[in-house]
Amino acid sequence: SAADKVKLGALRFTSHSGGFVAFENGYFKDAGLDVEFVYFQAATPMAVAIASGDIDFGVTSITGGLINLAGKGAIKVIGGALHEEKGIDGSAILASTKAFADGLTSPDKLKGRSLGITQTGSSFHYMAAQVAKKEGFATSDIKMKPLQKVGAIIGALKSGQVDSMIIVPHIAKPLSKAGKAKIIGWINDYAPYQVTTIFTSTKNASGKKDLVKRFVGAYSKGIADFNRVMLNQKADMAATDAMVKQIHKYVYASRPYAKAAPSIKNGAMRISKNASLDLTDVKKQLDWFQSEGLVSKSITIDQLVDSSFVETY
Amino acid sequence: MDKTPGTSRPVRFRGGGFAPRPLGLVGALVFITIIILWELGSRTGVISALVLPAPSEAYVAFEELVRSGLLWKHLSASLQRLIIGWSSGALLGVLVGVAIALFSFARAGLVPLVSAIFPVPKIALLPLFIIWFGIGEGAKVATILFGTFFPTVIATYSGIDNLDRSLVRMGQSFGLSWFSIVRKIILPGALPAILSGFRISAAVAIILLVAAEMIGAEFGVGAYILMAGSLMATDQLIAGVAMLSCMGLTVAWLISRAEKYLLRWRR
Amino acid sequence: MDKTPGTSRPVRFRGGGFAPRPLGLVGALVFITIIILWELGSRTGVISALVLPAPSEAYVAFEELVRSGLLWKHLSASLQRLIIGWSSGALLGVLVGVAIALFSFARAGLVPLVSAIFPVPKIALLPLFIIWFGIGEGAKVATILFGTFFPTVIATYSGIDNLDRSLVRMGQSFGLSWFSIVRKIILPGALPAILSGFRISAAVAIILLVAAEMIGAEFGVGAYILMAGSLMATDQLIAGVAMLSCMGLTVAWLISRAEKYLLRWRR
Amino acid sequence: MDLNIQSLGHYYSDLEILRNINLDVPAGQIVAVIGPSGCGKSTLLRMIGGLEQPTSGAVLQVGETPNDSLNPLTYIFQDFALLPWRSVAGNISLVLEDHKLGSAEVDEIIENVLSRTKLGDFRDAFPHQLSGGMKQRVAIARALAVRPAVLLMDEPLSALDSQTHDLLMDDLIDLWMREKFTSVYVTHNLSEAVHLGHKVVVMSRRPGMITEVVDIDLALDTRKDHPELLIEYQQHLWNIMRDEVRAAELELVDG
Amino acid sequence: MDLNIQSLGHYYSDLEILRNINLDVPAGQIVAVIGPSGCGKSTLLRMIGGLEQPTSGAVLQVGETPNDSLNPLTYIFQDFALLPWRSVAGNISLVLEDHKLGSAEVDEIIENVLSRTKLGDFRDAFPHQLSGGMKQRVAIARALAVRPAVLLMDEPLSALDSQTHDLLMDDLIDLWMREKFTSVYVTHNLSEAVHLGHKVVVMSRRPGMITEVVDIDLALDTRKDHPELLIEYQQHLWNIMRDEVRAAELELVDG
Ligand SMILES: Nc1ncnc2c1ncn2[C@@H]1O[C@H](COP(=O)(O)OP(=O)(O)OP(=O)(O)O)[C@@H](O)[C@H]1O
Ligand SMILES: Nc1ncnc2c1ncn2[C@@H]1O[C@H](COP(=O)(O)OP(=O)(O)OP(=O)(O)O)[C@@H](O)[C@H]1O
Ligand SMILES: [Mg+2]
Ligand SMILES: [Mg+2]
């Protein structure tokens, strides 16, 4: 029988490599899925496009917007992707050189400092709240500056308009190396944290369980390949280069390979094995969003997550 | 007059028309109809509740805003940015527009520059704006100023280009100073075009509130909309958008008043 | 003539002026100067390399785009959206503008609607656009169409409002049909205002490319800029912005040509 | 087609412009209207042509309009009303385009009226390239192009030098001899009035009323042969107008 | 202040408009210019007033301008050139505002010129509310307001009825008797020319050249008493112009 047509929403980021690798290695085809990538420039339109039925699957962080859409019965989280754990590079906390010189040398000094985030209710906002909680001060003690775009936050940090930010390693490391900012801590110290999740429309999750299962299975194979090679790059340089080449077709495609490769390599973060989902942390996140009044109190974890597809913990 | 009236008929009236009369209530009626239809559509499920909430829900969100006292904070922050940004952008725009219309050098040098910079999306330049103007009020006002400046420039110089030069020659023949000619002949003559440019630039300024308040704004209608958008809180989103619409209506009404007074010489 | 030439002097020339002459090269010179200063600033470090790369770096990024063959893909995708979106927006805008200018009902019903909807930021409505038009070309074209429609409406009806009605009366006195009067008297008379509206709406259309291509666009100059922005690839960002500027310059040049031909009757 | 003006009155907001105008314009006659500046002559003409609606009274048309006329009631405007974006020929073709004429016929008509108004060299000039008198001639050419049954002329020869003036006046007389059109002819030139008018209507100062209607019982084409008679009529009209002004001044003194 | 026009010539692109114009306008004299429509009278006037630059030749001014004049060289335009957004009074105050006059003085000047042109009732009317003749009178009033030393008039009385026309012509004669202003007076009305001109310049068809200059040696204020003389002059001018037209027609036939 003909393969099922499936549209997968993606951002051209290294963190979406699970899908790219699975596609390149033919795992989707093997599962009887004819996957077509649909690229987005931002996460919100991707979530809406799933709600409107324009695409079938997407991968992005848990945000207030995602939870609210789930609350309206439009989408369901079905698996995990990026997961912060101790010992593996994850997002870093950066201080501007000015603030660093001024004494902001570790995350516990963030009290009273400004922090650039994209939006209220974004994953950056949540991470900052976790840091504040662990370091023993209120979230409101950090002055959140919503700047919409990562690029804008970086600009603000470099020019000292904000004191700090939280950002993925392949951006954090070069900035720090170039002396434009200082890494003062790692988010994985506040782990575990389920950063991104795989989600689909409620219709798919309840009506096409078989298709969703096959999709998750194939995606997991891609994740396994990615983790094996990219989290251990020194072990097999040839395999690493081969995979970076695969990924380069999708990420930084407009740049020459030589320029793109380091960014891709630096950007490799652990993707959850078998797309398993840290349900405990997802619950924690939901509670936080509700306690901040960012999403409706009536949304339950069952509305947000369909745990029948992957292993949860 | 000695003809029998049977064979005669009045000369057909051919004049008139081409000049709409005000029908005050129709506008309000249109809004009410749209809102009622929308509400009905939402209630019956014809309009998916997913992204477009019923007007009543948006109204609830608005009430919440009033109750929490945040409305005024948002509004005053935005209005301040709007007024400063728009009025300085419009003023600069008229000045530059006049310069372009009157000086060969200004025209040759500035028109291509305007054509090249106007189409650059403000959002793409947000990082640069932050570097240049910081994340305080400066950047926000500058965004609005930038956005209103260009349409005003174009409306102004096109309006002046379109003036019949014979009135200028009259002014020169009476020995009016250059400044008098500009102020008393050129600017009033271009005023209809400038006011229509203001209509456009004021709407653009309101649109740009959202872009401006992307830059680290805690309060402001734009910031409220952005937050609602990222949270997919569509009821708040619509409430925020409705506030922008009301601002637009207010500005349009003010400009209509100004036109009615300033352009009363038009037949 | 019998006077000695010593006591006589020519009558002072008071006319002329108020009509800039074209100085072709100045425009190019301004651009070249700006780019050279910028490059120098970047090389000497006066302009921080952080967010504003040197023009030469942007040029390298552009070359890369040419070499990879992606340039044409991006350009053709964007141009197609622009042309369809802008031309349908402008056409609809002129039609609605004429209706507003001529029919009492259209004016009363539509002007408030235009004033209320124009200031709504397209970005805020992206989610709605996706639901209404999907994520295909429809939503992108619709975004541009929406953006160009409103300024065109305003420019058109203001332009017609500003026409002297005596020419219309002349047309009526010769028994011209309503349609002839609109086509041969009203539209040509409002053409200068409509063309100036086109200048504005074309720039707005280019600006909106970025917003439009937020909606699941794979190719397009806007998508390229968005991606460059999210990757903080400022060289590509500037290269993309420069492409938009070039589009703006091209459109402005085309409109100038059109004005020169269509408005050659102006003195 | 006769025109029949019945107790017509007009106000612009509070200003009374015309009061109780009763006038018959019989088919095939030229009615000249004279009166002081601002007394409402142009306004009256606009009402006769159906371009404006009187506050009171009515303008009736009696009998049928001829079939071969493209625009039975045709105007020559005091301010010319030329489209600045159309050439001289374009301004004339404007009023022909709505009638289904072949392009050869349109060209022929344009050629004809342009040569009659001595504008042949300026076919393609734009209005702003014309002198005042040339603009006025374009307006006349345009009116002639539609073969009017009734010509409503508002000082049609005012901007012309005496040579061109006499030439076009003769042309109008010839035209009338051939086609016997009906006309209301507003002028401030008494000599024009007595040369062209079958009757001359004298209007008073604002509010414009009809002071007197003078019939001139001389065939149009023979008038040139009776200059003394014409001068007599002219003197008579002059006296009426002077008396009117005197009366007005007395009124001012008394009031 | 005399004006001295030396071998002036002008082209509009390829079209020759004026050819070798040599003319003296002595201080305190009115020079009337007549000629066929489109021959370049308005163009010549614009050059005399410094509003346009001739292709060749020059206009010289000899002697000093008087001090009490607000605008020595003043125009009355053929198309009135009124600002539509200013009232009648505003159009006049426009040309006074740049001179540091007290507002009382400005009001007085406006009052004076409006009453001289019989426009007192229309102080606050906008141009579109005026009749053609009233607009022309506003243009005259505006020119009188600046106490010109040289008046450049382009058919200033063409839109006026005979009464108002004569009234304003008398007013101009009175004014000249009092102030002996210099003037170039373009007209198509031969009677105006002989009533007002110290000399009358007859121009030929385009390209406009000076065909003849007729001196009229009669004091302006006594001319009304010699109607037969004036008619003789008028007839003479008429003959020159007719000959000119005949010559032109012959040329056409031969060419
Ligand atoms: N801007 C222009 N461009 C081209 N030709 C022009 C321009 N202005 C005037 N002309 C031409 O110059 C000639 C003289 O025009 P001008 O207005 O001086 O005539 P005039 O003697 O004042 O005529 P009239 O008595 O009809 O007012 C005309 O043939 C006209 O077509
Ligand atoms: N739109 C208007 N609004 C107000 N008043 C007007 C308007 N149009 C004309 N008038 C007034 O109506 C009166 C008559 O004007 P009209 O143009 O009919 O005079 P006219 O007899 O043609 O004069 P002229 O010989 O000077 O052309 C004038 O007093 C004028 O001020
Ligand atoms: Mg009139
Ligand atoms: Mg002239």
D94 to chain C, any CB pair closer than 8 A? The answer is yes
Q: Which residues of C touch B17 (CB under 8 A)?
A: 102, 172
Distance E38 CA to ligand 1 centre (A): 5
When mean pLDDT is compared across B207-221, D111-125, E26-40, E92-106, the lowest value belongs to: B207-221
CA distance C184 to chain D (A): 8
pLDDT(E210) > 60? yes
Give tens-digit pLDDT for D102-149.
899 999 999 999 998 888 889 999 999 999 889 999 999 999 999 888
Tell me whether residues E85 and B188 touch, CB distance under 8 A.
yes
Question: Would you say A78 and A99 are in contact if contact means Cβ atoms under 8 Å apart?
Answer: no
DSSP string, D183-233: EEEE-S-HHHHHHH-SEEEEEPSSSB-EEEEEE--S-GGGGGG-HHHHHHH
> Which chains form contacts with chain E, at 3 or more CB pairs under 8 Å?
B, C, D
Question: For chain C, which residues lie within 8 Å of any Cβ of chain A, measuring from their own Cβ?
Answer: 48, 50-51, 64-65, 68, 70, 126-127, 130-131, 134-135, 213-218, 223-224, 226-227, 229-233, 236
**Is A touching B (3+ C-beta pairs, cut-off 8 A)?**
yes
List the single residue in E46, E84, E146 with the smallest CB-CB distance to B174: E146
E248 pLDDT band, cuts 50/70/90, is low
State the nearest Cα–Cα gap between C228 and chain D, in angstroms: 48
- Which ligand ends up closest to the CA of E37? 1
Q: Identify the pLDDT of residue C51.
A: 64
% pLDDT > 90, chain D: 49
The domain limits of chain E are: 2-66+148-254
| C-alpha closest to that of A155 among C230, B209, B118 | C230
Residue of C96, C199, C243 for testing the chain B interface, max B β-carbons within 10 Å: C199
> Whole-angstrom Cα distance, residue B75 to residue B213?
12
Question: b/e map of B177-207 (b: 16 or more CB within 10 Å)?
Answer: eeebbbebbbbbbbbbbbbbbbbbbbbbbbb
CATH label of the domain that carries residue B230: 1.10.3720.10
pLDDT of residue B202: 95
Tell me if B176 is assigned to some domain. Answer: yes
* C258 in contact with chain D, both atoms CB, cutoff 8 A: no
Residue count of chain C, please give it. Answer: 267
Query: Which residue stretches of chain B have pLDDT < 70?
Result: 1-6, 51
Mind listing the pLDDT tens digit for each residue in A260-295?
A: 888 888 878 888 888 889 999 999 999 999 988 888
E190 CB near a chain D CB, below 8 Å?
Answer: yes
CATH superfamily of D2-66+148-254: P-loop containing nucleotide triphosphate hydrolases (3.40.50.300)
pLDDT of residue B157: 94
Do C1 and E52 lie within an 8 Å CB cutoff? no
Q: In chain C, what residues touch D77 (CB-CB under 8 Å)?
A: 166, 170, 173
- Which residue reads 């076009």 in tokens? D168
Number of Cβ within a 10 Å radius of residue E29? 20
Is A41 close to C126, i.e. CB distance below 8 A? Answer: no
Closest residue to D161, CB basis, from E36, E132, E163: E36
* pLDDT tier for residue D252 given thresholds of 50, 70 and 90: low
Hey, are the CB atoms on D53 and B16 less than 8 Å from each other? yes
Kindly give the residue spans of alpha helices, DSSP state H, lying in A56-187.
Answer: 64-71, 97-101, 123-135, 150-158, 169-177
Tokens 């429309």 found at: A201
The verdict on a CB contact (< 8 Å) between C210 and B18 is no
pLDDT digit string (tens) for chain C, length 267 residues: 444 445 778 888 887 788 888 887 888 899 999 999 999 988 888 877 766 788 998 999 899 889 888 899 999 999 999 999 999 999 999 999 999 999 999 999 999 999 999 999 887 777 777 777 877 888 889 999 999 999 999 999 999 999 988 899 999 999 999 999 999 999 999 999 999 999 999 999 999 988 888 777 778 998 888 878 766 677 888 899 999 999 999 999 999 999 999 998 887
Q: The pTM is what?
A: 0.90
Single-letter amino acid, residue A50: I
What residues in D contact C175, CB-CB < 8 Å? 70-71, 98
pLDDT of residue E252: 52
Query: Count of domains in chain C?
Result: 1
Mean pLDDT of A174-199: 87
User: Tell me, what's the pLDDT at C158?
Assistant: 94
Report the first-to-last Cα separation within chain A, whole angstroms: 36
Contact flag D60-B8 (C-beta cutoff 8 Å): yes
Which pLDDT score, from 0 to 100, does residue E37 have? 87
E83, E93, E144: which to substitute to probe chain B, counting the most B Cβ within 10 Å? Answer: E83
Is residue D58 helix, strand or coil? strand
pLDDT tens, residue by residue, E163-193: 788 888 888 898 888 888 899 999 988 889 9
Say what the pLDDT of residue D220 is: 87
Query: For residue B180, what are the contacts with CB-CB under 8 A and spacing of at least 6?
Result: B171, E97, E98
Q: Does C17 touch chain E (CB under 8 A)?
A: no
CA distance A174 to C50: 12
Neighbour-count burial for B239-249, b at 16+ CB within 10 Å, e otherwise: bbbbbbbbbbb
pLDDT of B4 reads 46
Cβ-defined contact of C108 to B181 (cutoff 8 Å): no
CB C68 within 8 A of CB C59: no
Which residues neighbour D6 within 8 Å (Cβ) at sequence distance 6 or greater? B1, D22, D57, D58, D59, D60
Domain of residue B110 covers 63-266
Q: How far apart are CA C154 and CA D248, in angstroms?
A: 51
Mean pLDDT (whole number) for E124-143:
92
> What's the pLDDT score for residue C15?
79
Mean pLDDT for the stretch of residues D214-243? 88
- Res. E30 pLDDT band, cuts 50 70 90: very high
Q: Mean pLDDT over residues A102-117, rounded?
A: 89
In a domain, C218, yes or no: yes
Instruction: Look up residue E19 and give its two tokens.
Output: 């050819």
Q: What is the pLDDT of residues B32-50, one digit of tens each?
A: 999 999 999 989 988 877 7
Contact of E160 with chain D, judged by CB distance below 8 Å, is answered with: yes
User: Secondary structure of chain B: what % helix, strand, coil (to 5)?
Assistant: 75, 0, 25
| Mean pLDDT (chain E, rounded) | 88
In the block, which residue shows the tokens 């300033």? B262
Report the b/e string of E214-251 with b at 16+ CB within 10 A: bebebebeebeeeeeebeebbebbbebbeebbeeeeee
DSSP E183: E
A246-260 tens-digit pLDDT: 888 888 877 788 888
Whether D255 has its CB under 8 Å from any CB of chain C: the answer is no
Please provide the average confidence, as pLDDT, over all residues in chain A.
87
CA B169 to chain E, closest CA, distance in angstroms equals 7
Per-residue confidence (pLDDT) for residue B1, from 0 to 100: 40
Say yes or no for a CB contact (<8 Å) between A148 and B214. yes
Nearest CA in chain B to E139: B170
Span A146-162, pLDDT tens digits: 887 777 888 888 888 88
Interface test with chain D among C169, C170, C260, by most D beta carbons within 10 Å:
C170
Ligand 4 center to E167 CA (angstroms):
23
On whether the CB atoms of residues B243 and B206 are closer than 8 A, the answer is: no
- Annotate B113-179 with DSSP letters as a single string: HHHHHTTS-GGGGHHHHHHHH-SSHHHHHHHHHHHHHHHHHHHHHHHHHTS-THHHHHHHHTT--HH
d(CA B241, CA C123): 11
Answer yes or no: is pLDDT of E220 > 90.
Answer: no
Going by alpha carbons, the residue nearest to atom 6 of ligand 1 is: D129
**Pair B145, B92: CB distance under 8 Å:** yes
C90-96 LR contacts (CB < 8 Å, sep 24+): C90/C148, C90/C149, C90/C152, C90/C198, C90/C201, C92/C145, C92/C149, C92/C152, C93/C148, C93/C149, C93/C150, C93/C151, C93/C152, C93/C153, C93/C155, C93/C156, C93/C197, C93/C201, C94/C152, C94/C156, C94/C194, C96/C149, C96/C153, C96/C156
- What local confidence, expressed as pLDDT, does residue E215 receive? 92
Chains E and C touch (3+ CB pairs under 8 A): yes
pLDDT > 70: percent of chain A: 99
CB–CB contact C119 B207 (8 Å): yes
Region A47-51: what's the mean pLDDT? 84
For ligand 1, residues with CB inside 6 Å are: D 125, 128-134, 161; E 12, 15, 17, 37-43, 78, 188, 206
Cβ atoms of C48 and A160 within 8 Å: the answer is no
Number of C-beta neighbours around residue D140 at 10 A: 24
- Any chain D CB within 8 A of the CB of E10? no
**E159 in D contact zone (CB under 8 Å):** yes
Best of D37, D122, D239 to mutate (most E CBs within 10 Å, chain E) = D37
Among the listed residues D53, B154, A246, the one whose alpha carbon sits nearest the alpha carbon of residue C196: B154
Give the least confident one: D42-56, D98-112, E67-81: E67-81
Q: Which two tokens stand for residue A180?
A: 């434009």
Mean pLDDT score, E115-119: 88
Residue nearest to atom 17 of ligand 2 (CA): E131
Q: Is residue B56 part of a domain?
A: no
